Chains A and B, each alone.
Chain A
Amino acid sequence: MHLARNGGGPLEADQRRILVVGARTLYLQALCEFLGTTGLSVSLLQPVQLRDSSLDPSPEVVLLDCVAAGVALEQLIAEIGEFHKGALIVLLTSGAARESSKQAAMLHVDDWVSMSLPVAELVEVLGDRGRRASDARASSSRRAARSGPAIESPLSSLSERELSVLRLVVDGHSADEIAATLGISRHTVRTHLQNVMAKMLVGSRMEMVSVARKSGMRPAPTAPPS
């Protein structure tokens, strides 16, 4: 496994129900198997089965694949709204951030995640969406944050010291190890990381690592190759 899945994330606290809807079984089934290991409760549904799922307990999040094979997305979204009132609809896109957010806005869905991102980021968004299911505002502010400077160059505003702390986290070191390596206190490491997270507009350490890696930061060569 090449995925940073640190324990202790917010995902393990309770089981969030996610319904994945789409026709690309191969990818979606693999995705569901993966999501199942992150503490989310996931089920996969073909678009044509949506009607049959109306009696099941409604999920917190419906992840809708943008490649729905023959069924119009608008129709599926309407059906989800009908059968699973209150569920957040997250569009699973294939494109870059700009096109994805445009597509999500056009379809009036709550959020989007793209398969062109590392899966850790996808997990983070899904976990987060479930947690803030009632907070509709969060999704729009989150979208704004995504298309803002965080996409341009999330690392550019970091100081030298913050960058070296971040690099060590990406390398998988603990706060204690970082403190020892840099000759600073554990408390200072924590402060640095809090500032890094604020500057990078991320909500968790996992997302921080994921965004850092996406921006080109790589683990030290001693780490196992991907």
Chain B
Amino acid sequence: MVANTTTVVLGGGMPAVLEVLDFALGRRPGVAILGWDTSVQGTVDKVAARSPDVALVCADLPNWDGVKACTDIKRLGMPTRVIVVGSEGDQGTLISAVKAGADGYVTVADSVDDLVGALHQVHRGESRIPPLMLGSLLRGLIELRREDDAALERFASLGNREREVLVELVAGLDHHTIATKLHLSPHTVRTHTQNILTKLGVHSRLEAARFVFEHDLFSRFGIGDG
């Protein structure tokens, strides 16, 4: 492969889309397509096997989760950069893509040559976000960060005993089992539970569990592993 060629693996839920992108990108100088796949796992496998400079995953097609593909590719720990293709103005997908580690975002309203530019750009190590979406992306990320800070604050307000009870609650144990395990009376466990729900600002044990997972609280505080 010539040094200034960008090698690419494509992933997306629709054969025809990938076939024509393969054709259109492949005929442009400086781009070499190493393969494509219509399943998330297949795309990740092809990236692992062929180590392309860039993986291009479509996140706007049905039957296919482009953000998951991005996450899984990044998890391989390879230097492969990832570009996510999404709808124009789809801020939700853009934020998920950035959170999943995407290096670039290209909208379906862009041209093939825009995409080629983006491929080279992320290959060089730059990031690529459509300028018009940058403002809303930053606002979205700051908003997320703010929510996250609030969640951390709430979690930090729990007492030690309350945290222990929360771990068991999230594991799905009932009051009696928790009471036995922590050498408390069921009545005390119930009181702790009420206080936990109030402090976290949630209304049910299920919501409490979602809250914990959404903000990744246990692993960030080194709780509950094993």
Contact = CB atoms under 8 A, between A and B. Distances in A.
Interface of B: 13-17, 19-27, 35-36, 61-63, 85, 88, 106-112, 114-115
Interface residues of A, number: 27
A184 B16 CA distance: 36
B17 A115 contact: yes
B109 A69 contact: yes
B43 to A, nearest CB: 13
B110 A33 contact: no
Interface in A48-94: 67, 69, 94
Contacts, number: 84
B21 A116 contact: no
| A-B residue pairs, 8 tightest by C-beta | A30-B24, A30-B20, A24-B108, A119-B19, A115-B16, A115-B14, A119-B16, A34-B20
Nearest to B85: A26
30 contacts: A2-B22, A3-B19, A23-B108, A24-B108, A24-B109, A25-B108, A25-B111, A26-B21, A26-B106, A26-B107, A26-B109, A26-B110, A26-B111, A26-B112, A27-B17, A27-B108, A29-B24, A30-B20, A30-B24, A30-B112, A33-B23, A33-B27, A34-B20, A94-B14, A115-B15, A116-B14, A117-B15, A119-B15, A119-B16, A119-B20
A106 B23 CA distance: 33
Contacts of A118: 15-16, 19
Interface centre among A26, A29, A34, A67 (most CB of B within 10 A): A26
